[in-house]
Amino acid sequence: MSGIAVTMMVWVCGLVWGGFAGLLIRAVRQEGKKAPGEH
């Protein structure tokens, strides 16, 4: 694979999958902070 293709792969996959993973971790933390009756 060419260097530019590898760079693009890392950039796009990092943004999309990394973004999703980061948001998921944030959601898990926020849920943990909320008291059971808070909803």
Residues that bind another protein (CB under 8 A): 1-2, 4-6, 8-9, 12-13, 15-17, 19-20, 23-24, 26-27, 30-31, 38-39
At its nearest, how many Å lie between another protein and the CB of residue 32?
11
Indicate the residue type of 18: G
At its nearest, how many Å lie between another protein and the CB of residue 18?
9
Whole-number Cα distances in Å, 16 to 7, 22, 31, 39: 14, 10, 22, 29
At its nearest, how many Å lie between another protein and the CB of residue 31?
6
Separation of alpha carbons 15 and 21, rounded Å = 10
